[in-house]
Amino acid sequence: MRAAGIDIGSRSVKLVVLRDGKIIHSAIADTGYDPQGVARGLLDQAAWDYVLATGYGRTMAQLHFQAPTVTEIKAHARGVRHSCTDCRTVLDIGGQDTKAISLTNGGKVTKFEMNDRCAAGTGKFLEIMASNLGFPLEDFGAQALRAEEMQQISSMCTVFAESEVTSAIAKGADRREIAKGLHMSVVRRATAMLKRVSLTSEVAFTGGVARNACLLHLLREELQLEILVPDNPDMTGALGAALLAAEA
């Protein structure tokens, strides 16, 4: 059986298809203004027998594609255990939310915390701040890593943080130092969430933001723990949904 998992996120739609436990197809596309159309396009381009949907748009998939659904928490937990077999703590930072998840030795979710009410600490927050500082998003982390010092940013609210950034720029602060301070504010928020759900010796870092080199570096420094990043961290939810589909 070809089991598919589709993760309909706020910024991108991801698809993974498995056969005999191996990935035979994967694809990713920007969500844009028509997540239903993008999801349908990815599904139409792949051969599959059974699909399970996750992500913020999973209800839409259930309505339009009659696809059963699974929560993002469960999908990411399953995807992580496939890539990082012994890991019991998960940090997922996506476009619109941040999730901290604690797992049992067997991979079951025991506790989780999710920030999905505002952009604070998410990929969207970093995107807005990169734009304000004049950096391409894909280069934001690398530029922040080059800063020798750090400009402290006290607010995690996007609106107030923008005001702090504007004020710092007006005072002549180095853009890279501001960028590093913004990254540190995200790390401190994520660290607080992780500590509330539980911390073990290893943390799996998933979601598109896990590709940000500065966040990864600062997380390792702040937690003093091993931070594991899957090969394709933004595909973790889709992979987990596909694995659960294969097990259904």
> Which band of pLDDT confidence, cut at 50, 70 and 90, is reported for residue 27?
very high
pLDDT at residue 127 is higher than 70: yes
- For the chain, the structural domain boundaries read 1-84+232-248, 87-229
8 Å CB contact between 201 and 230: no
pLDDT (tens digit per residue) in 70-112 = 999 999 999 999 988 889 999 999 888 899 999 999 899 999 9
Residue type at 191?
T
Instruction: Give pLDDT, residue 219.
Output: 96
Q: Provide mean pLDDT across the span 119-139.
A: 90
- CATH for 1-84+232-248 is 3.30.420.40
Q: Provide mean pLDDT across the span 176-204.
A: 93
pLDDT at residue 23 is higher than 70: yes
Q: What are phi and psi of 201, to 5 degrees?
A: -70, -20
3-state secondary structure of 31: coil
- In this prediction the pTM is 0.92
Instruction: Give pLDDT, residue 116.
Output: 66
Burial 25-53 (b: 16+ CB within 10 A, else e): bbbbeebeeebeebbbebbeebebeebbb
Burial 157-190 (b: 16+ CB within 10 A, else e): ebeebbebbeebbeeeebbbbbbbbbbbbbbebb
Give the chain's mean pLDDT.
92
Instruction: Give pLDDT, residue 63.
Output: 83
87-229 under CATH 3.30.420.40, yes or no: yes
8 Å CB contact between 141 and 183: yes
Q: Provide mean pLDDT across the span 169-193.
A: 93
pLDDT (tens digit per residue) in 50-75 = 999 999 899 888 888 889 999 999 99
Instruction: Give pLDDT, residue 227.
Output: 95
Do the domains 1-84+232-248 and 87-229 sit in the same CATH topology, yes or no?
yes
Q: Provide mean pLDDT across the span 35-40.
A: 94
pLDDT (tens digit per residue) in 130-160 = 999 999 999 999 999 999 999 988 777 777 8
pLDDT above 70: percentage of residues in the chain = 99
